[in-house]
């Protein structure tokens, strides 16, 4: 059993054997079937609460009830990231309330808090769209630095969001923006550009050097590993999660396999695995378990194996990266613990 050579890649079957963290998913149901499936696969789940502020999505209060329920019943298998509660119009009292709420979330066991893309895409301040580098957010960000609560920031969207559908690089983005034209920025030229979104995040990071920051979805720089590398070099206090953006690495591996491999080796301490699954009562349990298993296995295959692979998200075949197991261990486990220190009990 223990004769696995150090450095040799993992096998497909090793997936269920090693300790892992899925550090970005949305557990929006009391149904604990997905926790049981995760336990069988040695996966600790990190669910993320989001202050959607839109009626068609689950209310934050309901998300909090669900998070408290699972955290109480399965603390070894489940953790949660709380939401920073905001409002469609930011005022000083809204920020003061958010400062209190993030401290309360920390007291309730949140391992971090999430700020969502509605900052920069929807929320206003003084009747103008407001970006995360606006000084109105400074007291909140200073508070988060002070209480050392990690921040998962989702700002902007994949660059594809600003392109016409037929120029998008991956099939999953074509599907998403075709069915959500309201989020398709290519149709909304008055809105900030992709560069504006990334610049706002960078400006914020430059001002808050003590923030323990995780850029969700490869920091919305998923389209270019060079750009991701530049930002990780510029901001040593930023890590990034891979949630729903593994397909962009796969897409880049079609033509630049070695370059993607070298990137993963170079930034092996900064990248965190996440599936971005959403568990809900609106779909059947069976369908969701199948999709969870498909995602976990196809992404594990990409990172650990070296065969030629396909997924529906990507047009074209790509070769798996076959990363050394020490690197896989970091991406699937120890980097999440470094970014979210409250998870350190998992390493014991």
Rank residues 116 and 263 by Cβ distance to Zn ion and give the closer one. Answer: 116
Per-residue 3-state assignment (H helix, E strand, C coil) for the chain: CCCCCCCCCCCHHHHHCCCEEEEEEEECCCCCHHHHHHHHCCEEEEEECCCCCCCCCCCHHHHHHHHHHHHHHCCCCEEEEEECCCCCECCHHHHHHHHHHHHHHHHCCCCCEEECCHHHHCCEECCEECCCCCHHHHHHHHHHHHCCCCEEECCCCCHHHHCCHHHCCCHHHHHHHHHCHHHCHHHCCCCCCHHHHHHHHHHHHHHCCCCCEEEHHHHHCCCCHHHHHHHHHHCCCEEEECCCCHHHHHHHHHHHHHHHHHHHHHCCCCEECCCCCEECCCCCHHHHHHHHHHHHHHHHHHHHCCCEECCCCCCCCEECCCCCHHHHHHHHHHHHHHHCHHHHHHHC
Q: Which of these ranges, 184-192, 228-236, 272-280, 303-311, lies near Zn ion under the rule CB under 5 A? A: 272-280
Contact call for residue 173 and Zn ion (CB under 5 A): no
Please, what is the minimum distance in Å from the beta carbon of residue 155 to Zn ion? 13
CB of 119 to Zn ion, least distance (A): 15
Span interacting with Zn ion, options 74-82, 137-145, 160-168, 270-278, rule CB under 5 A: 270-278
CB of 259 to Zn ion, least distance (A): 27
Q: Kindly indicate which of the ranges 125-133, 200-208, 255-263, 274-282 contains the residues binding Zn ion, using the contact rule CB under 5 A.
A: 274-282
| Contact between 276 and Zn ion per CB under 5 A | yes
For residues 94 and 343, which CB has a smaller minimum distance to Zn ion in the complex?
343
- Name the minimum Å distance from CB 228 to Zn ion: 18
Closer residue to Zn ion (CB): 133 or 276: 276
Name the minimum Å distance from CB 190 to Zn ion. 26
Choose the binding region for Zn ion from 7-15, 104-112, 176-184, 269-277 (rule: CB under 5 A): 269-277
| Residue recorded with tokens 């120890």 | 334
Among the residue ranges 170-178, 218-226, 257-265, 268-276, the one whose residues contact Zn ion (CB under 5 A)? 268-276
- Per-residue binding string, Zn ion, 195-234, x by CB under 5 A, is ----------------------------------------
Task: Kindly state the number of chain residues that form the binding site for Zn ion, as judged by CB under 5 A.
Answer: 1
Asked if 161 and 183 touch (Cβ cutoff 8 Å), the reply is yes
Tokens read off for 79: 């953790």
- The stretch near Zn ion (CB under 5 A) out of 8-16, 273-281, 283-291, 324-332 is 273-281
Cα separation of 294 and 246, whole Å?
Answer: 13
Min. distance of Cβ 221 from Zn ion in angstroms? 16
Residues 88-107 that bind Zn ion (CB under 5 A): none
Q: How far is the CB of 240 from Zn ion (least distance, A)?
A: 13
22 is an interface residue for Zn ion by CB under 5 A: no
* Shortest reach from residue 24's CB to Zn ion, in Å: 6
Cβ neighbours of residue 210 under 8 Å, at least 6 residues apart? 145, 237
Phi, psi of 115 (to 5 degrees): -110, 130
Instruction: Supply the minimum distance, in Å, between the C-beta of residue 48 and Zn ion.
Output: 6
State the residue number with the nearest CB to Zn ion.
276
- Enumerate binding residues for Zn ion (CB under 5 A): 276
């Amino acid at each position: 059993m223990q004769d696995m050579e150090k450095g040799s890649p993992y096998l497909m079957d090793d997936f269920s054997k090693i300790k892992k963290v899925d550090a970005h998913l949305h557990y929006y149901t009391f149904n604990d079937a997905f926790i049981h499936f995760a336990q069988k696969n040695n996966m600790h789940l990190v669910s993320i609460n989001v202050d959607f502020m839109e009626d068609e999505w689950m209310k934050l209060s309901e998300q909090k009830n669900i998070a408290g329920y699972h955290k109480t019943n399965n603390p070894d298998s489940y953790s949660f990231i709380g939401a920073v509660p905001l409002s469609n119009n930011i005022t000083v009292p809204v920020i003061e309330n958010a400062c209190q709420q993030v401290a309360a979330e920390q007291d309730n066991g949140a391992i971090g808090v999430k700020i969502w893309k509605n900052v920069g895409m929807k929320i206003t301040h003084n009747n103008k769209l407001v970006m995360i580098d606006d000084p109105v957010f400074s007291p909140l960000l200073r508070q988060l630095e002070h209480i050392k609560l990690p921040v998962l920031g989702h700002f902007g969207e994949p660059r594809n969001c600003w392109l016409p559908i037929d120029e998008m690089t991956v099939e999953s983005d074509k599907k998403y923006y075709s069915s959500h034209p309201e989020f398709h920025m290519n149709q909304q030229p008055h809105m900030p550009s992709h560069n504006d979104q990334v610049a706002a995040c960078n400006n914020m990071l430059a001002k808050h050097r003590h923030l323990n920051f995780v850029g969700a979805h490869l920091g919305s720089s998923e389209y270019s590993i060079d750009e991701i590398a530049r930002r990780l070099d510029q901001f040593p206090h930023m890590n990034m999660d891979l949630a729903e953006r593994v397909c962009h690495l796969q897409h880049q591996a079609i033509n630049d396999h070695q370059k993607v491999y070298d990137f993963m080796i170079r930034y092996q301490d900064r990248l965190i695995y996440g599936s971005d699954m959403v568990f809900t009562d609106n779909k059947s349990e069976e369908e969701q378990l199948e999709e969870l298993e498909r995602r976990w296995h196809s992404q594990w295959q990409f990172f650990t194996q070296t065969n030629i692979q396909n997924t529906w998200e990507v047009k074209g075949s790509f070769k798996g990266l076959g990363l050394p197991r020490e690197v896989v261990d970091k991406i699937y486990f120890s980097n999440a613990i470094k970014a979210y220190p409250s998870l350190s009990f998992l390493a014991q």
